[in-house]
Structure 1
Amino acid sequence: MSDRVPQPVDRQLPTEEARDLIALVRDIARREIAPRAAEEEEAGHFPRELFTLLSGSGLLGLPYDSAHGGGDQPYEVYLQVLEELAAARLTVGLGVSVHTLACHALAGYGTKEQQTEHLPAMLGGGLLGAYCLSEPSSGSDAASLRTKAVRDGDDWVITGTKAWITHGGIADFCTVLARTGEDGPRGITAFLVPGDAPGLTAAAPEKKMGMKGSPTAQLHFDGVRVPDGRRLGEEGQGFAIALSALDSGRLGIAACAIGVAQAALDEALAYATGRRQFGRPIVDFQGLRFMLADMATRIEAGRALYLAAARARDAGASFSRQAAMAKLFCTDAAMSVTVDAVQVLGGYGYTADFPAERYMREAKALQIVEGTNQIQRMVIARHLAGPESR
């Protein structure tokens, strides 16, 4: 059974341009994404053609400068686009978020020459990016990464393995964090590596519980040679660049989580309205009504939280604590809402004939990626305790 088209959310958008943008995204979701989502996820098909369409529609560079092919959109608007895409299919919404994350280092720390040379193709030229920070032995403790980049004349030679890479094996470019100096966070540097660089290979994709259409794979760097002109930022600045990118990326995950939760609520509400037991629709029973009310409240609260963090970012204020809170709350809300959606559908919710079980499996991943929710609690607590806190 194919997914139903997500129900429109009543959004408060700042401009007429933003309202037109959301209308475009909803049209693409209705015509191109939702009808094939269930079938393609079951088959493990990555919809590269959809990303080509999104790129051609200007949706892969929304929060970046139009001088380099971006959309000049505030994060408040960009995140609502992600929510709409994720409600139609998480593989697409999360894929756009990861691509945006992969562009962050160049857009924020690259030289003008680097930006002019690379950004237009990355933002609107049909390319797809990957973000390479995690490794088999360094996940939450990202500062302990072991992949090395050694200077050789005007080049850097990168050797090591990256793990859990979304778009691993299919990305056209990778933002790679590698060790160029001392142990710890101060010895890490960022590089922009072509996806077809000699010596760069991908392992077989991981066999995951959910998001089967989104390839996740290890990437092996076997003496990959990169010109110094592809170093992003200063030597040793890479970890600070990575943390900056993750603050923004966590907001992307939060928005995707609310998209999945909204889709699950829509499915549960439609089923409860149409399913009859004891002579009336089951939505008339108080126990179910209270469950649906709680689901809707969690979604609205999560949406308000990620939008408040986005507005802080757009205003140039510090938003790291709010980003961690949004990622934590929204992904926990998505897990709770999708579990409840399966319960509303009863036995049907446990079958692949309805998308509720897929939403539940997908929601679990969002509590893990871009910093587990335990790490988010550590980030929040550190902000509360002050800069001297460990």
Structure 2
Amino acid sequence: MPVPSSLSPSLAAGIVALTRHYADTVLPLWRAAGWNEALQLPYEALDDRSGRPLAAVRYRAMACARQLFIFSHAGPADAARAEALFASLQRHFGDGNGAWLYSIDAAGQPLDSRRDLYTFAFVVFACAQYHRLSGSAAALELMRRTTELIEQRFADGQGLYLSALAEDFADDGAPVLQNPIMHLTEAYLAAYAIDGDAWYGQRLREMGQALLARFVDPASGCVAELPQGEAGNRIEPGHQFEWFSLVMGAPALFAGSALEAALRRAFVFAQRHGVAAGTLGVSAALAADGALQDATQRIWAQTEFARALAVEGSAQSLGTLALWTERFRSRFLHDGGWHEVLGPGGEVLRADMPSTTPYHLLGAYQALQALIERA
């Protein structure tokens, strides 16, 4: 591939290397060893040395939905796998009316029947993506039914949503948390892009205002994991980068908003306090003042940093991104796949490769590839 004139040769080469590793190493893991043919589901995780499935304890609807997303984007040769995942999502986890189980056991029987907002959000997201790429009318209908149920059941009456409910949708005391709201934002953005219903745009603006009021630290602009003022709160740098990419990627909805202004400050704060200068490794958690709380480095946070740098797009960010591609590849990727969690010194802290991680890799690589396409 020729080097784009507006990108440095090192950045262009780094992007090519990352996307090649994804196509040649990551996706094949889930086409073969990672696929449970009997259940027509991806295994939850593979061993990061042998590439063999780890002993199955559960299968989650969210993991199935994330794999539906990645295989929807994998191309015509993988259309049958995407179709199988869409069918399995409904057969194993759905009730036909937009309600979803959290998980099933290794034999395919219900394991955790709670109603989990994070799961519902990923179903909306995956159905929107699958419809966009396949034209499936069934996926569009399922996306709409799930959205209706989210609004009817999970809404907390204050502009946001409870993180979970009992199987019968009764309130069982689960709190409002930022992470499922972030992924619901992602899901509604995907739904808005393919549906065009102005309701999604209005709801997203309202969610942004409620998030700003309840979760955003006025001092730093960061979105905390818990509502402001709650004990045990923390800032996850990876989530600042993820929120930044979502909001900056939807200027028609958020340009000029107070949430956009806050997240621009959060981007700077998270990079200053949560990214190691030498390795560009993103730490897991900070205190509100920027003090390091958890120095472990999870791969998803690294990819969200890269996506945010690409979306921000300044010369400084692209320079950092060129260094990031090199350091990320040498620290987190290997010939058999990837390392899920590293210590700050590069020590491998987990030996599994979850089926959910390619969703983060693909999201980052799409943003990086867009840089080449725009050059």
- TM more than 0.5: no
Query: Is the radius of gyration larger for structure 1 or structure 2?
Result: 1
Richer in strand (by share): 1
Q: Shorter-chain TM-score: what band? A: under 0.3
